[in-house]
Chains A and B, each alone.
Chain A
Amino acid sequence: MHIVVCIKQVPEVSDVKVDPETKTLVREGVPSILNPFDEYAVEEALRLKKKHGGEVTVITMGPPQAREALKKCLAMGADKAVLISDRKFAGADTLATSYTLSRAIAKMDFDIVFCGKQAIDGDTAQVGPQLAEFLGIPQITYVIKVEVDPEKKIVIAHRETDDGYEVIKAKLPVLMTATKGLNEPRLPTVMGIMKASKKEIKVLTFEDLGGSEEDYGLKGSPTQVVDIFPPPVRAKGEKIIVEDPKEAAAKIIDFLIKRDLI
């Protein structure tokens, strides 16, 4: 069984601050990490490999620095890593990104494609389903449990919904997006890190993927960011310290009435 896992290197969003003067993001000193939702995807791929045998390939599109995220996946136990990198891919939105990934993955012989539910920098959750469409395979998003029958070539997955989950069956090949609750991702071991450092990361460029330049990067991106601005600032609230619960409750009720909430 060949499992391909799409990953992304992202800034540690919770460390990102906004410069109060320029009102722009301060990225200096903010570490880059493997997107947390992708860790669930990598972990599940490794578990399926352990159970059923096969191979796990991690793939990302990004600048050369994205190697670090791939190395972490190799250290966790992935077999192969692919970096799609070319200046022609720069400026890609989710559509161009998923198209680019599909060009690379379509050339591989795969049974399952895993993605994280979404990346914590963009939070779009769009690349998974868009990639599935470009690959022409079914998708199961937000999976919290996966069982594969390699003989029958079927997968049964639990898909998280608003108030529980759906049990979904699909034939392989399939694309699934992993969310929290699927598993507890392992930490790379020292041994794993050493092994990973010796592994080669294959680099794919525009020449390798082929097709029309019009479909990649900025040119292949229908969406365009036209402005970035800070979110509206919340008005400073009132902080009160109250010993008497009766008084505290009365305060809250007054406040709710004033705000027309009850």
Chain B
Amino acid sequence: MVPTNYYLILSAILFGLGIVAFVFKRNIIAIFMAIELMLNAVNLAFVAFSQSLGKVDGEVFVLFVIVVAAAEAAVGLGIIIQTARTRRSLNVERADLLKL
């Protein structure tokens, strides 16, 4: 029997590492992966609370989060492809103008 706090603290650590990756990475695809990491950390907390309280609602929320993450990945990667085409670079610091 693993205490729920262990899962919650692991979730907090993964979320913190996601923030570090989001701030540090310069590659736009890696920044997008950092967002996915943070979503995963939140999912872990959802399932931990759900199992601990004995309610299934948390797991339903996790399914919705996964659906939104999939939709976000499809649209976000489309935007990344367009950005890379127009700017010929994946570095976020090159993308500092709204219009070319």
To the question of whether A and B form a pair in one complex, the answer is no
Interfacial residues, chain A to chain B (CB-CB below 8 A) = none
